Structure 1
Amino acid sequence: MERIRVLLIEDDPMVQEVNRQFVERVEGFEVIGVASSGTEGLELVSRLEPDLAILDIFMPGLDGVETLQRMRSQLLSVDVIVISAANDMATIERMLQNGATDYIMKPFKFERVKQALEHYRHKKETLVSARAVTQSELDRLLFGQRLGAAASAVGADLVKPDTSGPAAWELPKGLQVVTMRQIIQFLKGQSEPLSAEEVAEGVGIARVTARRYLEYLEKTGDLRRDLQYGVGRPLNKYVWTDKTSS
């Protein structure tokens, strides 16, 4: 596959340079342009026709939310990964609803950007191939290895594919796909076990909500719970399991 051409849409010069360095450290990607505003970003998307745009939200004038909406209304053929300090679920949901393929919250690490780009490259390579895929392959393509594995599990309390749509999911009552995806994306970028409170703070949700998702993912086997002892009651912390290496 040819190199993936990336446009950066970010108003902060320092973050522009960090994003450029991170993208170009990942094999198969090149930055072909940088825009400092949403308006400039739309013009460059139209003129340069990049494969992927990395989009900020908080920008003067045309913000990232409106920029992405205009990309879609103008039928611009570009995929979008959001890198932003916005951590409220309403904004995150709007960006995902408008077709963002991933959402990374500032401050971020190279490993998380690399993970997003490599997953995007795999999805791009799969989509341009002419072969048919299985449901489990499609699950991994859409949601990543761990959620795809959970979706293949059998049991009344486990995630099951919903045949009402290609990317629809039937989750236990009260759990939402958007929140599930955000929790998984956040945890994939962490190297140390995290408590429900730490996950809640990182994703921008209530602690009791985070605990429900973590307990569910522990039940599917995608998450391992570690008890950490200190002063007072033991603290539950959670870490991803790597099923592919077991």
Structure 2
Amino acid sequence: MIEVLVVDDDIRVTQINAAYVSRVPGFRVAAQAHSAAAALAAVESQRVDLILLDHYMPDRNGLTVVRELRRLGHRTDVIMVTAARDVATVQEAMRHGALQYLVKPFTYAGLRTKLEAYAALHQTLEGGGEAEQGDVDRLFGALWAAGEPGLPKGHSPTTAELVRQALRGADGPLSAQEIAESAGMSRQTAQRYLKLLERTGRVRLTLRYGETGRPEHRYTWATGS
């Protein structure tokens, strides 16, 4: 069984998320916590394989918890479950080892898909045997893009997620350059992923005409994607 610590400052939300986790075969709720201090104490006192970690808490935020876990030498996996949509938070969570970032509100089906992808990855990494590069890429890709159509060869699920977060967190249409700056990538990389997401219907392209020259391409995340 994969032991899960569910962390959220809202007791009702914690209970709902814990109920979701309990419904997924192979997962068990090890504990619930409502603060950063309680979360760290839980990891110190019992086995925890995975943390569903809220970002906003009364004492310290979720990113601080992740940094402290790594400083203490804990290799516990983390999926951020939060309403924070800013790309900077996503990037910081990834840098400190968070495997996934799930934005509230989400459904049981959405969380279940992420957990099932995590279980496959966990089984492979904990098996101690050898894995082909393609298998590892597929498992990490499944975790980041669980429930999403497969990406073509040469495209990173992590990069696609950063572009998605930049668009979903925007107040209006963005240019490729603005998305690149927000997501911390080159303009060429942003354009490549934007073209892919537009072809699959997840991004909408509009043209903004100036007084002279070619129209500027502006992008928005498609509603319902």
1:73-99 Cα distance to aligned partner (Å, 9 max, x none):
111131111100111011111011110
Instruction: Give the AA of the match of 1:95.
Output: A
Q: Which residue of 1 aligns with 2:196?
A: 216
Residue 23 of structure 1 contacts residue 114 of structure 1 at CA under 8 Å; is this kept in 2? yes
- Pick from 46, 58, 61: which aligns with 1:60? 58
Secondary structure (helix, strand or coil) at the match of 1:150 reads: coil
Asked if 1:94 corresponds to 2:92, the answer is yes
Instruction: Number of aligned residue pairs: give it.
Output: 193
- Pick from 149, 152, 160: which aligns with 1:150? 152
C-alpha root-mean-square deviation of aligned residues, in Å?
Answer: 3.2
Aligned counterparts of 1:205 and 1:93: Cα–Cα separation in 2: 21
Percent identity reads: 29
Residue 45 of structure 1: how far off its partner (Å): 0.5
Secondary structure (helix, strand or coil) at the match of 1:30 reads: strand
Instruction: Give the AA of the match of 1:102.
Output: Q
**Runs of 4+ with deviation above 4 angstroms:** 145-149, 202-206, 224-227, 235-240
Aligned counterparts of 1:84 and 1:236: Cα–Cα separation in 2: 19
1:14-37 Cα distance to aligned partner (Å, 9 max, x none):
110110111111111111111110
For structure 1, the residue ranges without an aligned partner over 5 or more in a row are: 152-158, 161-168, 170-176, 187-198, 228-234, 241-246
Secondary structure (helix, strand or coil) at the match of 1:136 reads: helix
Residue 140 of structure 1 contacts residue 149 of structure 1 at CA under 8 Å; is this kept in 2? no
Aligned counterparts of 1:69 and 1:33: Cα–Cα separation in 2: 20
Q: Kindly report which structure 2 residues correspond to 1:15-94, keeping only aligned pairs within 5 A, or say none.
A: 15-94=13-92
> Higher relative CO (CA 8 A, sep ≥ 6), structure 1 or 2?
2
Tell me the TM-score normalised to structure 1 length.
0.67
User: For the structure 1 residues 93 and 236, does the alpha-carbon distance in structure 2 shift closer, same or farther, using more than 3 Å as the test?
Assistant: closer
Q: Which residue of 2 aligns with 1:126?
A: 124
Instruction: Give the AA of the match of 2:196.
Output: Y
Aligned counterparts of 1:182 and 1:88: Cα–Cα separation in 2: 10
